[in-house]
Every structure is written in C-alpha cells, then in structure tokens.
Structure 1
C-alpha cells in the first residue's frame, strides 16, 4: 500500500537521499519515492505513519502529514 506525505525543507538531491535513507533504515522493505518540486514522499510497503514521521524528523526535515 502506498501513502504520500508532505515533507518540508527538502531542497536538493542530497535532501531526497537523506529522507530516503532514513525511511529505509527504519523500514528496510519500504520503497520510497521523493518528489522534490512538490515536497512529497511516497512510501510503498507496510510502513506506519509514525515510522515515517520519526525517520523524516531524525533526518532533520519537517513532517507535515499525509499529502492530499
């Protein structure tokens, strides 16, 4: 199941990699897609929102909840 979340503060490919790596570290089976222009991160796999929040915040970015 895929869920999309808004993440604030991502401005470059390095930011996208940091968020991706942080999520995969906590949820190794997740597939992560980052869309920099929209500030959206889509996570495919059995990953709870709380896990995504923890990963995003630990990487130094703002977790802004589910994307519309």
Structure 2
C-alpha cells in the first residue's frame, strides 16, 4: 500500500531529509520516495496514513493526502 502527500512547503534537500527522517521514525521499514519539483512524498509499506501525516506535520510541514 502506498500513501501519497502533497507537501507544498517542501522546497530543498534539507526539507527532503527532514521529512524522510520523520517518516522513517513513525513507520520503520517504510520506503519514502520524494519528488521535490512536484512537492510529492510517497510512502510505501506503512499502514497508518494519519500517523505518517502527523509525523510530517510535527517536522514542521503541511502535508495534504493526494
């Protein structure tokens, strides 16, 4: 199962690293794929979308499920 988020305030490599780390902490073993130009984050292998979204928010970003 994949969960996709639009994260408009993700603008640089630091943002990617921060979001990836937050998702990995919330869902160990999940695969995080980031498309920075389109501001999309895809998480595969994580069961709880709400938990992933909360982790991204806690990292300081505003994700929206796609």
TM-score between the two structures when normalised by the length of structure 2:
0.90
Unaligned runs of 5+ in 2: none
Unaligned runs of 5+ in 1: none
| Deviation, structure 1 residue 57 | 0.3
Whole-angstrom distance in 2 between the partners of 1:22 and 1:10: 13
Aligned to 1:35: 35
Write out aligned runs for 1:1-68 (5 A).
1-66=1-66
Q: Tell whether the 8 Å contact from 2:3 to 2:65 is kept in structure 1 after alignment.
A: no
Moved segments of 4+, more than 2 Å: none
Whole-angstrom distance in 1 between the partners of 2:2 and 2:25: 18
RMSD across aligned C-alpha pairs, in angstroms?
Answer: 1.0
TM-score between the two structures when normalised by the length of structure 1:
0.88
SS, match of residue 29 in structure 1: coil
Identify the structure with the greater strand proportion.
1
Aligned residues: 66
